[in-house]
Structure 1
Amino acid sequence: MDEADLKALLAPLAMSWWEADTELSVLDGGGVAIEVADRLDDPYDDPYATFADLAPAAAFVRDATGRHLWANHAYAHLYGTTRGAVIGRHLADLDEAGDVTRFLALDQEVLTRGRPVRHTLTYRRADGRPGRAAGYRFPVRWGATRCVAGIYVDVTDYAQVLDQRHRAEADLRALRDHSGLLCVRLTPDGRVSEAGTAVADALHIRLSDLTGLPADTLLARTPERGALHRIWDDLISGRRRSARTCAVLVDRDGWWRRARIHLSAVCGATPGVSGVWAVGTHLGLRHQARPDLTPAQVRILALLAAGQSNADIARTLRLSRQTLDYHLSRLRTLLDAATRPALVARAYVLGILSPQTWPPRSPTAPNPASPV
C-alpha cells in the first residue's frame, strides 16, 4: 500500500488525520470532520478533543471543589445522562454523599502528591446497581487552574465474572481438599498440576512430591491403562468433553488399588484444553500387584467362582484331573490362598475377576460369553 492508497483508505473514516514533519509543522491532513456540541469553552480545540469525547473510556476534568469542567459522553453515560448535563455540575449533584466524600478525598490526594494514581473504585450506576471502574486519576492544568482529570473503564461485568470464577475455584478447592474424593488436575501433557490430600493418602506419597509427576507413573500396566490413553487423546484434542472409565492405581510401595475415574476437560481463556480434572470414586482395597496368570488359570478361577466342582471344571475345560490339580496348586502358590474359597476371594480382591458380572469373568473379557 503506497501513500495515496493510505490516504484514500482514511478519507471516508469518521476521524481526522494529519501528517507533520520533524518540526511538528502540519504538511497534510484530511478525514471527515466531526462536529461536537458544547466545545466553545473547551481548551482542547483540536483532534484530540474529538477523540476524548467519543472514546469508550469514561473521562472527566473537575476542579478542586468537585465541579466538573469537562466530561466525555462515556462518563455521562455512567450516570445515565448527557455530557451537557454533567459539565458545570458538582459531584454532590450526581453521586451519593458517601461517594462524594471518597471521590473528593481522592482528588485532594492526587493534587497533593502531584502525580497519577492508578486504582479501582466502586460507584452506583444510574439504575441503582453497584458498579466498578478501573483507571487513572492525575493532576492537570485547565487554563490557570490546577484540576484533577480521570479516565476509567467500567469493569463491572468483568469483575462479576472474575468473582464468580474465584468462588467456583474456592468451591472446587474445598471439594478437592475436604470431600474425600481423589481429585487431581492434570496438565495437557499429562502431569499432576494440583491434587487433594485424599490422593496423597491413597498413594502413600507426600502431596509436594505428587505435584509435577507424570500421571502414567501412578497407573498400573493393565489393559485399563491403554483404554485410558485413548480417552485422554480424545479429551486433549477436544473430541470429548468428559468420560468415565476404570484405572488401577499404583502407590509408592507398589501396591495396587482399582478405582472408577471421571475425567473432565477444562477449557481456559485461550483456545484448546488447558487441563483435565480426574476424580476417582469407588476406590478398591489395597492389594499387591496381581501375578501374571495364563488364560487357562483365569478360566479355572472363573469356574471356581461360579461354584463348579473340580470334576465339572476338568470336563468344561477338557483337562485331566492331574492337569487341573497342577493348575490349582500353582494358583494357591501364586495367589497365596490355601482353599477354594480363598482362591475366589483373592481373585476378586486382585481384580482378576470382575465383581460386577455374572457368570464370573475377567474385567477384560470381550463379551459375557467369554471368561477371559
Structure 2
Amino acid sequence: MDGGAAVDDAGLKALLEHFPVFWGEVDEPWQAREPGGGAFADTGTAPADAHPTPHQYAAFAGLADLAPAAAFLRDGDGRYLWANHAYAHLYGTVPQELVGKYIEDFDGPAEAAQFRALDQEILTRGTPVRHTLDYRRPDGSAGQAVGHRFPVRENTRTCVAGIYVDLTDQLRAMAQWQEAQDSLQALRDHSGLPCALLSANGRVVEASAAAAELFQLSLPELVGRRAHTLLAPEPGLDRLHRRWNGLITRRTRRLETSAVLVDADGRQRRAQLHLTTVGNSAARARHVWAVVTHHSLAHDAHPSLTAAQVRILSLLAAGSSNGDIATSLKLSRQTVDYHLSRLRELLGAATRPSLVARAYVLGILAPRAWPPRSATASHPLSTA
C-alpha cells in the first residue's frame, strides 16, 4: 500500500466488499470457513421474495453486463434475479424482460426441466459444474453453449449463477470447414489429377495417388519430399524459382508454367504446372496447390536439341517440305537433311510422321498450339 499503511484482515475484508470480486477463506482440509466480496452484495434490505431493484447487483453488473459471455443469476425456485445483455440476447430479449420471471417463461418444457435439474445439482452439491448446454434459439434452430454454473449466496439464500459462451456459430463454421476439407480431399483423391499441396519452402505436404503414380513413388515416399527434387535440371528452373517467390510473397495469386518432371527411375516428362496460393490472411502464403496437366510420355533424357532443330520440328509438323524448311530458316537443303537425320537418331523415330508424333509425346511441341511451336522457349531438349 502507498505510504506504508498496513491493512489487517478486517480492513481487507471491508475493502473487498466494495469490489466486484469474490473471496473465500478455507482451512487446511479445504473446508470453506468464510466467504465474502461485493460481487453479489445486497445493497438493500428487501425481503427474500421481493423483486430485485435496479440498484441491486450493481457491482457484478458493472463487471459482466457488457461482457460477451452470457451470464445469469437465478434463485432456487428458477426465478431470474439478474441477467446480462449477452444472456438475454440468446432468448431474443433484453435483461429487464428476464428479471422476475421463471425458466418456463422462456424455455420449452424439455429444456426447462433440464435447466432446473442442473440448478438443483448445483444447489445440492454446492460446487461449480462445467458442462455443454444444448438449447433452442429464438429462430427455432438448435444452439449450443459451454460454461459453468456455480452456487452463490444472496440475501442469506443459496442461488445459482451461470456464465456461458455460445458456440453455435463457431461449431457451424467448423462443420462448414470440415465439409470443405472433405470435398477437397475427395477431389484430390478421386479426380485422377496429379496434384499436391506444397509448403512455402517447397516441401510436399499432401499429394494425390495420381501424383505419386506420376513420379513412380508411394504416397509416403512423395509426402515430405522437396519439390525441386522432382524437377529435371534445365535453364528454365531459375525463372520458375523467381515466379514461385512471387507467389509466396503474394505478388501474384496463381500462375501456369511448363516444367520437366523427373520420376524415381530418372525418366522425364514435360508437363503444365498450375500453381495457386491458399488463403489471403498472411503477408506470405503458407501453402500452394500444384496441379499437373498435359504431361508428355515419360522418356529417358536426350541430348539437348538446338533452337534450329526445334524450329525444324515445328515446321515439319505443319506439313512443310525439306525445301520449304530450308527457305523459311535460310538454310541449305543439305543442312536441313542433316538435322532431320540427326533428329530421327536422337528421338528414335524412323520416318517423318513418327518424328512429328515423337516430338509431341515427348512434350517438345506444344500439344494445343497451331501452327505448331515449341512447348517452351527453354525446353530441356533445346537450348532455345
Matched residue SS, 1:267: coil
Give yes or no for the alignment of 1:50 onto 2:62.
Answer: yes
Give yes or no for the alignment of 1:220 onto 2:244.
Answer: no
Give yes or no for the alignment of 1:195 onto 2:200.
Answer: no
Match of 2:148 among 131, 136, 145: 136
> Counterparts of 1:120 and 1:21 in 2: how far apart (Å)?
45
- Pairing 1:99-248 to 2, within 5 Å after superposition: 99-110=111-122, 115-222=127-234, 225-248=237-260
Q: CA deviation at 1:95?
A: 0.6
Match of 2:267 among 245, 255, 258: 255
For residues 106-133 of structure 1, give each alpha carbon's deviation from its aligned partner in whole angstroms, at most 9, with x where no partner exists: 4445556654443433322334343333
Contact 1:243/1:262, CA 8 A, preserved across alignment: yes
Q: What's the RMSD between the two structures over aligned residues?
A: 3.5
Percent identity of equivalent pairs: 56
> Counterparts of 1:21 and 1:241 in 2: how far apart (Å)?
65
Q: Which residue pairs with 2:94 in the alignment?
A: 82
Q: CA deviation at 1:313?
A: 4.1
- How many residue pairs are counted as aligned between the two chains? 342
> Counterparts of 2:204 and 2:160 in 1: how far apart (Å)?
51
For residues 188-214 of structure 1, give each alpha carbon's deviation from its aligned partner in whole angstroms, at most 9, with x where no partner exists: 222111122221122221111222222
Contact 1:125/1:131, CA 8 A, preserved across alignment: yes
Contact 1:63/1:69, CA 8 A, preserved across alignment: yes
Q: Which 10-residue stretch deviates more, 298-307 or 89-98?
A: 298-307
Q: CA deviation at 1:151?
A: 0.7
Q: Which residue pairs with 2:344 in the alignment?
A: 332
> Counterparts of 1:301 and 1:62 in 2: how far apart (Å)?
87
Which one has more relative contact order, counting CA pairs under 8 Å at least 6 apart?
Answer: 2
Q: TM-score, with normalisation over the residues of structure 2?
A: 0.75
> Counterparts of 1:319 and 1:281 in 2: how far apart (Å)?
36
* CA separation of 1:122 and 1:288: change in aligned 2, threshold 3 A: farther
For residues 332-357 of structure 1, give each alpha carbon's deviation from its aligned partner in whole angstroms, at most 9, with x where no partner exists: 33212222222222222112222233
> Counterparts of 1:117 and 1:249 in 2: how far apart (Å)?
60
Contact 1:301/1:344, CA 8 A, preserved across alignment: yes
Which letter does structure 2 place at the counterpart of 1:337? A
Q: Which residue pairs with 2:372 in the alignment?
A: 360
Which letter does structure 1 place at the counterpart of 2:211? V
Matched residue SS, 1:193: strand
> Counterparts of 2:110 and 2:219 in 1: how far apart (Å)?
48
For residues 240-289 of structure 1, give each alpha carbon's deviation from its aligned partner in whole angstroms, at most 9, with x where no partner exists: 22233333322222223333333222126555423112223334333333
* CA separation of 1:303 and 1:271: change in aligned 2, threshold 3 A: closer
Q: CA deviation at 1:184?
A: 1.5
Contact 1:224/1:248, CA 8 A, preserved across alignment: no
> Counterparts of 2:286 and 2:298 in 1: how far apart (Å)?
32
Unmatched 5+ stretches in structure 2: 20-41, 47-51
Q: Which residue pairs with 1:73 in the alignment?
A: 85
Matched residue SS, 1:288: coil
Contact 1:203/1:252, CA 8 A, preserved across alignment: yes
